[in-house]
Amino acid sequence: MKTPTNLLFLLTLFATLLLSCAKKNASDEGQKMNVFIDDLMSEMTLEEKLGQLNLPASGDIITGAGSNNNTADKIKEGKVGGLFNIKSVEKIRAAQQIAVEQSRLKIPLIFGMDVIHGYQTLFPIPLGMSCSWDMELMEKSARIAAQEASADGICWTFSPMVDISRDPRWGRVSEGSGEDPYLGSQIAQAMVKGYQGDDLLKNNTIMACVKHFALYGAPEAGRDYNTVDMSRNRMYNEYLPPYLAAVDAGVGSVMASFNEIDGIPATGNKWLLTDLLREDWKFNGFVVTDYTGISEMTEHGMGNLQEVSALALRAGVDMDMVADGLLTTLKQSLDEGKVTQQEIDQACRRVLEAKYKLGLFEDPYRYCDENRAKTEIFTPENRQVAREIAAQTFVLLKNEDQLLPLQDKQKIALIGPLADNRENMPGTWSVAGDFAKSVSLLDGLKNALGTEANILYAMGTNIVADSLLDSRISIFGKPTKWDKRSQKEMIAEAVAVARKSDVVIAAVGEAAEMSGEASSRSDINLPENQKELLEALLATGKPVVMVLFTGRPLTISWEKANVPAILNVWFAGTEAGNSIADVLLGKVNPSGKLSATFPQNVGQIPIFYNHKNTGRPLAEGKWFSKFRSNYLDVPNEPLFPFGFGLSYTTFDYKNLKLSESTLTKDGKLTVSVELTNSGNYDGAEVVQLYLRDMVGTVTRPVKELKGFQKVFLKKGETRTIEFTLTEKDLRFYNSELKFVSEPGDFKVFVGTNSANVLEAPFTLN
């Protein structure tokens, strides 16, 4: 009986030794880095130090012979710390060569890019990815993105974007993970791990940059770049957790956001960038501004370029994206005593540290391997993973009479402006993608069914009817394929095609650039001309499946009431058409769950599941009561709640049980539920656990997600799903912004979405 105890002791000893060795190695490494950077900085002039703080956009000017252009000259003079959105090993190598061969101190450049949802192999847009609720897949997608980007010379990505948003008018909801701080935090960590791997020195890992710090997802009226104003209580409890999660995961850099916080733009906000980020959260990487974030502070009314540049540096900015403010004004500010040498040195040191951590001093061409560029990008293996992941992100919103999956040998009419449209499949922010190589839905169905198959096609209508709007959403090489024929003519053709079919698939929705940056909308209905098309198709009496392409929740109340089946596919990336075909044809059973609430109309916005109760809540199941918190003209309920998503099978929840009725400070509570796949298909379900703190010193939300598990069950299978809760799960930021739990009554909810749950009470002692 003695052996196991001894063994345990030895194992613990061994683990402790390993840990202390690892710590020692890390601190030795840190020491080495400090000595290296001290030496280097002792040789740097003030101008060279300021050069490290400068991040211009590359344009496309660096070529082998590009040394005559302006950026190349600046690199030679040591006035550039890095470049971004420059693509290809050839160009990156050429720029790096100028830095390490022609500048005085030969300091390598850092190369960044917006690798947001994949590099050339594009995954679904981040909002779509978040609906997979699958952290392994999220990490895998970031790993592949890093692999491909690093094979093409990139060592730094401006991702993950973790801005919580509850306003689908804001176009950039497409780039985030939806409305929930818990889910958002899990995703932030998975993405950072995926990009950075276990060792930044490897040539296939890249540095992540969490953005946009902070609160960028809460602009007034959903208008991009607009003012944000928020209580500390809301910030700490609801909006800041995903940024903190990324910092805890070791993210190498942080991007300051465009918006103001408490009246001071984030880029010049010392409370945000230093007190919170560095002192409270212990962030030790570097802070970069967003594009012209510094010079934009003059428009915010914070002073001229010199003043705002000094403000940014003092606040904690280390690198200036595009504004040229730090490079051109800090010398004067130093002379005038507006900034200190120490502040400049600190920023320069942080940029140099990032380069050191990436191994660029050891080998500036670490990421410039032409062979990797040829063999590791857009590979069949990566595309296969993209296809599998995309199918996990689709959300089945409605499926009357089991219209889906499609039956064998049905004659399909594929109709709609997004049916035969490769360019719009990847969605917003797909900088490195080759859009012509993405798979449209028409391609995907043909690939699955063979070219001989019964697929009839008609475009039916344009994405939008207004040509001016069309020109605004046809940029970045993603034309909508505007058809000059009249709406009447196009619908007539579509109806004729529909009449010849057994089932109509209507590929409708937004163009890729109707969401994303600077793509806010005040009306988030399906464009009226597309609704007309749907009406005409429904009038044929044929069953209609709506495949919805969108970068945001849309107000599709009419469609929900009238179209029998709706599959929301977001923008699914390179393999979109293949993955959609996999799901439509039943090869994959959909399991995506919404990470953002769909409102019934824009008047309900902001709408989110984890709201407060108020002093006058509306009784459950009611539409309206006078003097209660509600509307005269629309119920409080959303169109589709957070966490919602159907499957081709059905899942039953039974027997919610708690191991104890009381949780103690150091104890554990096991929550279990019986889950049965009661339908006719094997399938995956995301089991969701929510909590409510019934009484607090500050008001608490009616529900908060605190756990989830994606489980796969064969048809007919029953499984007991267990979650463990501890006191830590009950903590929140109180009125003094302390992260605490408060003894008292709680409720736990488990279910298939935020609105459909079983519940049980317990107490924290």
Please, which of residues 141-180 interact with ligand NOJ by CB under 6 A?
158
Q: Which is nearer to ligand NOJ, 160 or 444 (CB)?
A: 160
Cβ atoms of 145 and 118 closer than 8 Å: yes
Closest separation in Å from C-beta 56 to ligand NOJ? 12
Q: What would the two tokens of residue 92 be?
A: 């990156």
- Measured from the CB atom, is 146 or 498 closer to ligand NOJ? 146
Residue closer to ligand NOJ by CB (options 431, 755) is: 431
Q: How far is the CB of 112 from ligand NOJ (least distance, A)?
A: 8
| Given 139, 260, 290, 320, the residue binding ligand NOJ (CB under 6 A) | 290
The tokens of 273 are what?
């960038």
Tell the smallest beta-carbon distance from residue 114 to ligand NOJ (Å). Answer: 5
Query: How many residues make up the chain in this entry?
Result: 765
- Closer by beta carbon to ligand NOJ, 290 or else 324: 290
Query: Number of residues in contact with ligand NOJ, rule: CB under 6 A?
Result: 6
- 756 vs 754: CA distance, rounded Å: 6
Instruction: Tell me whether residue 108 or residue 171 sits nearer to ligand NOJ (CB atom).
Output: 171
Q: What is the x/- site pattern for ligand NOJ, positions 498-537, by CB under 6 A?
A: -------------------x--------------------
Nearer to ligand NOJ, 257 or 688 (CB): 257
Mask: binding to ligand NOJ, 208-247, rule CB under 6 A, as x and -?
Answer: ---x------------------------------------
Catalytic residue among 114, 167, 290, 729: 290
Among this protein's residues, is 38 annotated catalytic? no
CA distance 239 to 149: 30
Q: What is the 3-state secondary structure (H, E, C) of 379-411?
A: CHHHHHHHHHHHHHHCEEEEEHHHCCCCCCCCC
CB neighbourhood size of 289 (10 A) = 30
Q: How far is the CB of 23 from ligand NOJ (least distance, A)?
A: 34
- Burial of 739 by CB count in 10 Å (0-12 exposed, 13-18 middle, 19+ buried)? exposed
Backbone angles phi, psi at 721, to 5 degrees: -105, 130
CB of 641 to ligand NOJ, least distance (A): 29
CB of 428 to ligand NOJ, least distance (A): 11
Q: How far apart are CA 197 and CA 690, in angstroms?
A: 31
Amino acid found at 679: G
- Measured distance CA(577)–CA(401) in Å, rounded: 24
659: left (phi over 0), alpha (psi -120 to 50) or beta: alpha
Query: Which residue has the CB atom at the shortest distance from ligand NOJ?
Result: 158
Task: Sketch the per residue contact string, 85 through 114, with ligand NOJ: x for CB under 6 A, - otherwise.
Answer: -----------------------------x
**Nearest to ligand NOJ of 322, 755 (CB atom):** 322
CB 213 within 8 A of CB 253: no
* Min separation Cβ 735 and ligand NOJ, Å: 33
Beta bridge partners of 122: 118
Would you count residue 291 as binding ligand NOJ (CB under 6 A)? yes
Distances (CA, A) of 93 to 104, 272, 485: 18, 36, 48
| CB distance 145 to 117 below 8 Å | yes
Helices and strands, counts by H and E, the chain: 22, 26
Site string for ligand NOJ, 257-276 (x = CB under 6 A): --------------------
User: Catalytic residue positions?
Assistant: 290
Binding site for ligand NOJ (CB under 6 A): 114, 158, 211, 290-291, 517
